[in-house]
Amino acid sequence: MESLFGTDGIRGTANIHPMTAEMALAIGRATAHVCKHDHHKRHRIVIGKDTRLSGYMLETALTAGICSMGVDVLLVGPMPTPGIAFTTHSMRADAGIVISASHNPYQDNGIKIFSRDGFKLSDRLESEIERLVSTGQINNIRPTADEIGKASRIDDAIGRYIVFCKKTFPEDLTLDGLKIVLDCANGATYKVAPIIFSELGADVTAIHVHPDGKNINHNCGALYPQDLKAKVVETKADIGLAFDGDGDRVAFVDSCGRPAESDRVAVLLARHLLRERPGEVIYDIKSSSLLAEAVQAAGGTPVMERSGHSFIKTALLERDAVFGAEISGHFFFRELGGDDALYAACLLLQILQTQGRPLAELLDALPRYPITPDIRLPCQPEQADRILEALAAAFAGCPVSRLDGVRIDFGDGWALARRSVTEPLLTLRFEAHSEARLAEIQQIVRGRVPLLERVMSHGS
């Protein structure tokens, strides 16, 4: 049986298997079939997308497949991924589908399926869709006559989501007097983000809000904040916000044009949320120790999780945690059952307005531990596995986590080694309480494992 679903839906180059119109038709048919849980009612599936050129092709094919199985389609057009999940739940639809490849370039696309509650479709149902598509069994199930579905467009879907986001902001607060620059990545937030923050009272300057099907994520958005930084400085704005192509990731820039590390922003969000309801906070294994320390100081319980969107989200749901943060800029909330960039942005702006302090001041008040970016070393999988085992054995006397690779805790710093599952790479990351200790930890780790020393020396 062909494996279609990865950790975040189905993804690939548009018009090449599995991102073809033929496959989308079959996936639409299979999704409609597994979502028909009550044969005495009309079933409905929401379809939304980002701004990629190939979205038209896949949207049409999915719609045809779903309707051919006797399920109605509700089309919402370009809309942030969290907004499509929200619409699926609020419309009482049986499932939701997002056509997007998130931060990838425009030639890629993907299909992500939500259950009726707006959460990721279960592994069991994803496996059933794969079985129906791979075996061709879905081709033999064909409703006729009035059992065929129909498609209609939900013209006010964007308005509903805008109202939802604005309601998360306290009614006694406004953004009056705040100058904001938005970088919408020529993606799914290009309509909703400027409206939300303008209607909350901010003076908004929006850039990269003219999608043409091919410029999504192109040198703009959360992964490429150069234009945002320059525009914040040019306009003397108080803060800059950059979203990725499908609007579930956000990056922040302070009034000086300095990027704000996501784990430091997560400290501000976690503190605020824990004041209202104590509980667990899920954090990325690559995050600074500052986040775990801040959660504990605020009365919460930090829970380290594997790096990756699906791992953080799954842990949030399974543990009923208050909040979760991934170092890439995804922020997860218990009340949403997942991540939402616009929701996170509204919450951070609420904190700034409530405290009457700029982002730079709040972040500068936090301790700063020296941390390296990922050090990417070319390394074959077998060799990487040997290095990981040698590291675990060499530091058996220290607290060592095998949650995701090998993470060694030195008390005043840590080292993390992980093997890439997509490339022949070993990635290393280090943090310590001082620059001198950071260099010392790196030397200690290299010295304990000769094979690692050879790989690092060769790479340098």
pLDDT category at 460 given cuts 50, 70, 90 is very low
Residues 379 and 404 sit within 8 Å (Cβ to Cβ): no
Mean per-residue pLDDT for 357-383?
Answer: 94
Tell me whether strands 108-115 and 95-99 are parallel, antiparallel or unpaired. antiparallel
Quick one: pLDDT band at residue 147, thresholds 50, 70, 90?
Answer: confident
Q: CATH topology for 160-258?
A: Alpha-D-Glucose-1,6-Bisphosphate; Chain A, domain 3 (3.40.120)
Q: Model pTM?
A: 0.93
CA distances from 288 to 40, 55, 312 (A): 53, 37, 16
More confident residue, 246 or 117: 246
Confidence at residue 79, expressed as pLDDT on a 0 to 100 scale: 96
The pLDDT of residue 120 is above 90: no
| Topology, domain 375-459 | TATA-Binding Protein (3.30.310)
Measured CA to CA, the distance from residue 129 to residue 48 in angstroms comes to 19
pLDDT of res. 8 = 80
Question: How many Å is the Cα radius of gyration of the chain?
Answer: 23
Q: Give the C-alpha separation, 59 to 82, whole Å.
A: 18
Mean pLDDT of the chain: 94
Question: Average of pLDDT values for 77-98?
Answer: 95
DSSP 121: P
In this predicted structure, the answer to whether residue 459 has a pLDDT above a threshold of 70 is: no
Q: How many CA atoms lie within 13 A of 375 on its CB side?
A: 16
124: buried, middle or exposed (CB in 10 Å: 19+, 13-18, 0-12)?
exposed
The whole-number pLDDT of residue 100 equals: 97
Q: What is the reported pLDDT for 170?
A: 94
CA–CA separation, 268 vs 261, rounded Å?
11
- Tell me: pLDDT of 304 over 60: yes
Amino acid occupying residue 149: G
CA–CA gap between residue 370 and residue 183 (Å, rounded): 28
Q: Where are the domains of the chain?
A: 10-155, 160-258, 262-364, 375-459
Range 27-47 average pLDDT: 90
What is the predicted pLDDT for the residue at 146? 84
Other CB atoms closer than 10 Å to residue 302's CB: what's the count? Answer: 19
Which of the listed CATH numbers 3.30.360.10, 3.40.120.10, 3.40.190.10, 3.40.50.10420 matches domain 262-364?
3.40.120.10
Q: In this predicted model, what pLDDT tens digit does every residue of 317-354 receive, in sequence order?
A: 999 999 999 999 999 999 888 899 999 999 999 999 99
Contact between 11 and 110 (Cβ < 8 Å): yes
* CB count in 10 Å sphere of residue 458: 10
- Domain 10-155 shares a fold with domain 262-364: yes
pLDDT > 90: percent of the chain: 87
Which phi and psi (to 5°) does residue 225 adopt? -85, 15
- Assigned fold of 10-155: Alpha-D-Glucose-1,6-Bisphosphate; Chain A, domain 3 (3.40.120)
* Active-site amino acid positions: 102
